[in-house]
Amino acid sequence: MKSLVRILTIGAIAVAAIALTAIPSEAAKKKAKAVATGCSGGVCSTRCESGTCAVNVCGVDGQWHVAILTPVCVKEHCPPPCG
């Protein structure tokens, strides 16, 4: 009985160790994917018409999204245009 408990304990520790070593590599894959999309964290402006522009922000997923708090800006005070 004690040997079965020891085997199960060692197996659980081994599974936990493998899971903990896989976490950093998954984070690196997500970061590389976000950088590859071209969004580098920041804000930019698009669709500048009649004195106003739409403001976009870089999301966690690495894509540009319309800003929630300030979705538009006056053309003279807007962030740089999107690339």
pTM for the structure as a whole = 0.48
Rounded percentage of the chain residues whose pLDDT exceeds 70: 77
What would the mean pLDDT of 53-65 be, rounded to a whole number? 81
Token digits of residue 7: 């085997």
Question: Cα–Cα distance between 73 and 58 in angstroms, integer?
Answer: 17
Q: Per-residue pLDDT for 81 more than 70?
A: yes
The predicted structure's pLDDT at residue 82: 77
- Tell me the CA distances in angstroms from 49 to 13, 45, 56, 75, 80, one per residue in order: 61, 11, 15, 8, 15
The tens digit of pLDDT for each residue in 12-22 reads 888 877 777 76
